[in-house]
Amino acid sequence: MLDVLGRDVQGEAAFLRGRGAVSRVVLPGGVGAWVVTDAGVMRGLLADGRVSKDAYRHWPAWRRGEVSGSWPLAVWVSVQNLVTSYGAEHRRLRGLMASAFTARRVALLAPRVEEIAAGLLEGVEEAAGRGGGGVVDVRELFALPLPGRVMLELFGIPEEFRGPLREIIDGFFDTGVSSERAQANYRALYSTMGELVAFKRRCPGEDLTSALIAAGSTDRRDGADAADGTGSAGGMGAAGVSGAEGGSGGGGLSEKEIVDNLIMLLSAGCEPTVNLLGNAVALLLGDRGQLELVRSGRVSWGDVVEEAVRVEAPGANAILRYAVEDVRVGETVIPAGDALVMSFAAAGRDPGVHGADADVFDVTRGTRREHLSFGYGVHYCLGAPLARLEAEIALRALFGRFPRMRAAFGPGELPRTESFISNGPRVLPVIPGPAAAVA
């Protein structure tokens, strides 16, 4: 059974990789699935039209009620958004949202990301005290709020919604919660998002929430209202575009799709980037030689980001995908209707791709960009350019402001997020040292 608290993500990934390219696992609640650990096999399945993301159409256990809405991880398969769509429905939703994340639009965000980073670093400097000798948690003061503020501004989220949304999103990734707590968080999620959409209808602005609402149609409410948290949609993951088609049809967004896509965009835009930053800072502080390589200009901050994403995938395991028909992987046949988990943590350290030292953080590694942590194929993460931009700016600013920063933790001492999906440090104590002059 996968450890729901993710206490040793990489150890578990290595164990599963040792069992073969695919193997059987048990998810929380006794739900069986296949876990994919081989990078090559994973790449093929992520682009295979025989692998679906629609639980209502292609996961019999969900369709028959054997896995119900009370399952602690039900929210990952019940939402109806870009991440959970399949085939023509995915193409429709992606076409509506892709323009928000073009390279040009992302680049235009750089000055604001730099402003946010600079403001947060002032808070870190103040918390560290005179001479920067105090211990501060840079996850709490920097890595956590930076992507959150970027996304909240990008989507025009009013101040009164920010606290509740942060709490709800945290609960979304906590895979160790009870069924009761998961259900309560699920209801709070839809209630809050429904209120947000209603507010933005009354007070639209130049933001992505207003743009999504404008793309919708108030007379198309396929299934239940958004606030009910019901309706049909598939699981989380990435698949090819061929196979059965489905969805609500038409060119706009239904009410539920507006809410569910907001949920997806906000959660995917915050938690993984927090983990990316936390992992990268911890890795650099754990190996000063790697940090010196980037400071000397031998490698770029972009190289650091790619290697950090490879060696510590911000999303350790992606759930769920489903075999539309029998799928053969080597000598193993995954029966039609079975669920799959993609272990990005295992694939990132696949020695067949990255060599015998795949566990080692090496910013000069030739295969550092050959990871699957942002997905692959038609479902490649829309927000990947923004995550990279935020991470590069944040790391450059942090280590530029505190050139003598050192870890206040030893090897293996950082507590990790209590999740087998989200992968990052829960705290990140450092001693910043004297701050450099601000240009």
What is the pLDDT tens value at each position of the chain, 439 positions in all? 888 889 999 999 999 999 999 999 999 889 999 999 999 999 999 999 999 988 989 999 999 999 998 898 988 888 878 888 888 888 888 887 777 777 888 888 999 999 999 999 999 999 999 899 999 999 999 999 999 999 888 889 888 888 888 777 777 777 777 778 878 887 888 888 889 999 999 999 888 888 888 876 433 433 333 333 333 322 222 222 222 333 444 556 778 888 888 888 888 888 999 999 999 999 999 999 999 999 999 999 999 999 999 999 999 999 999 999 999 999 999 999 999 999 999 999 999 999 999 999 999 999 999 999 999 987 788 889 999 999 999 999 999 999 999 999 998 899 999 999 999 999 999 999 999 987 6
CATH number at residue 152: 1.10.630.10
Q: Which residues lie across from 232 on neighbouring strands?
A: none
Residues 401, 234: Cα–Cα separation, whole Å:
44
pLDDT at 378: 76
Is residue 103 situated within a structural domain?
A: yes
Note the pTM of the prediction, 2 decimals.
0.87
Distances (CA, A) of 205 to 20, 45, 100, 209, 215: 51, 40, 15, 8, 14
CB 354 within 8 A of CB 46: no
Is residue 3 situated within a structural domain?
A: no
Is residue 438 situated within a structural domain?
A: no
Is residue 377 situated within a structural domain?
A: yes
Is residue 77 situated within a structural domain?
A: yes
Residues 198, 190: Cα–Cα separation, whole Å:
12
Is residue 4 situated within a structural domain?
A: no
Is residue 2 situated within a structural domain?
A: no
- When divided into structural domains, the chain yields a total of 1
pLDDT at 221: 38
Q: Which residues contact 309 (CB under 8 A, 6 or more apart)?
A: 276, 348, 371, 373, 374
Identify the domain containing residue 415 by its residue range. 9-431
pLDDT at 251: 56
